[in-house]
């Protein structure tokens, strides 16, 4: 992998990740952009104990442009975009309309390929590995920023999810706090460790799932399963079999196998609802241990956390979405219409031929 860092016309950082070591990236951003001004602010909810990012400047972000005006495609002739070069393998750049900025963290866009009509599932193993390397590199770099406590790599895919740009891409959020979802895991981890005299909860869950009937696919170093208490109709968790706290700690065998397992999982997601259905909308979310202090989670260290990816779709059956209505949105109590065992069975049925 070759990494080349440059600056866009308004001062934002852009980084090329290339498969070839002899690739030269010296194209300049020719757009007449002014410096970006953001209004990102973190507000604490005293009753719930969580935080909300208020970012009014995002109201003006690009919304469903035609394909020939996509800002994530490479620059071609006089059609200027966020990527100055005429081609790329993987690109990461600071979001022009970030939810988090400055002392409130940082937001980046990850473009998986220059092909506008592709998808992550359509990448080659080599391309998917390059994305993994980019996620890992950005996790390392962002973790050293003084305002950052947790790094979150994710992909939103599909208009049903709320994606405003059709080009295959994901995002990275660098939060200035430990997110509420992660804090819940850490509290459960601490409680289980105390009750069992030191047993790791992630290890216990993984051991149970490996012995159960909800495993979707398994490799030498990774296993994907539908969790016992899945919140979403089709939800899969992907774990490395050797517990590590973050992407940085994955060893080379796990890195080598990951693209094969993950690409197969995504392709199965696209076949869940049968032939002729539009691509399955999904969210793919990496859970990594925070880099900040963990004193409030007594007895827990970073090494107790287990890196894993959560993949789920909001589609519950052909042509129907799972809406977060009263119970889910008002009380955070999910009601799942698809038994996890049946979801796992379906995902095994649609294995690649």
208-256 confidence digits (pLDDT tens): 999 989 999 999 999 999 999 999 999 999 999 999 999 999 999 999 9
Residue 74: beta bridge partners?
83
Q: Where are the beta strands (DSSP E) in 180-307?
A: 215-218, 222-225, 234-240, 282-287
Q: What percent of the chain has pLDDT over 70?
A: 97
Q: Distance between CA 155 and CA 173 in Å, rounded?
A: 11
Residue 106: per-residue pLDDT = 95
Among all residues, which ones are annotated catalytic? 169
257 pLDDT band, cuts 50/70/90, is: very high
- Whether 353 shows a pLDDT value over 60: the answer reads no
49-89 confidence digits (pLDDT tens): 999 999 876 765 665 678 788 999 999 999 999 999 999 99
- What do you get for the CA distance between the two ends of the chain, in Å? 32
Residue 60: per-residue pLDDT = 58
Average pLDDT for 146-167:
94
183-216 confidence digits (pLDDT tens): 999 999 999 999 999 999 999 999 999 998 999 9
Q: Distance between CA 350 and CA 272 in Å, rounded?
A: 7
Backbone dihedral region of 77: left (phi > 0), alpha (psi from -120 to 50 degrees) or beta?
A: left
> pTM for the full model?
0.95
282-333 confidence digits (pLDDT tens): 999 999 999 988 999 999 999 999 999 999 999 999 989 999 999 999 999 9
Residue 275: per-residue pLDDT = 80
Average pLDDT for 264-277:
92
In the chain, how long is the greatest CA-to-CA distance? 65
């Amino acid at each position: 992998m070759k990494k080349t860092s440059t600056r866009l016309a308004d001062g934002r950082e852009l980084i090329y990740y290339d498969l070839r070591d002899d690739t030269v990236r010296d194209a300049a951003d020719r757009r007449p952009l002014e410096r970006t001004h953001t209004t990102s602010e973190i507000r604490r909810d005293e009753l719930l104990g969580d935080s909300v990012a208020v970012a009014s400047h995002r109201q003006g972000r690009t919304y469903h442009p035609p394909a020939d005006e996509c800002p994530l495609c490479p620059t071609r002739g006089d059609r200027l975009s966020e990527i100055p070069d005429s081609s790329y393998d993987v690109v990461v750049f600071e979001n022009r309309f970030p939810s988090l900025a400055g002392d409130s963290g940082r937001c980046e866009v990850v473009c998986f390929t220059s092909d506008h009509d592709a998808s992550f599932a359509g990448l080659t193993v080599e391309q998917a590995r390059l994305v993994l390397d980019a996620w890992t590199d950005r996790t390392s770099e962002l973790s050293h920023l003084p305002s950052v406590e947790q790094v979150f790599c994710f992909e939103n895919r599909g208009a049903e999810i709320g994606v405003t740009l059709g080009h295959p891409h994901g995002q990275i959020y660098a939060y200035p706090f430990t997110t509420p979802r992660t804090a819940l895991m850490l509290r459960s981890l601490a409680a289980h460790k105390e009750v069992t005299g030191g047993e790791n909860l992630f290890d216990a869950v993984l051991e149970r799932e490996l012995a159960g009937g909800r495993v979707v696919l398994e490799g030498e170093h990774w296993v994907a399963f539908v969790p016992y208490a899945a919140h979403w109709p089709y939800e899969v968790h992907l774990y490395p079999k050797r517990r590590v706290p973050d992407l940085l700690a994955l060893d080379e065998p796990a890195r080598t196998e990951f693209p094969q397992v993950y690409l197969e999982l995504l392709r199965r997601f696209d076949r869940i609802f049968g032939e002729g259905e539009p691509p399955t909308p999904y969210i793919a979310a990496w859970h990594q241990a925070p880099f900040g202090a963990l004193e409030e989670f007594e007895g827990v260290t970073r090494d107790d956390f287990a890196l894993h990816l959560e993949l789920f779709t909001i589609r519950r059956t052909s042509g129907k979405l799972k809406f977060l209505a009263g119970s889910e949105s008002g009380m955070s109590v999910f009601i799942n219409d698809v038994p996890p065992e049946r979801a796992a069975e379906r995902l095994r049925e649609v294995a690649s031929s």
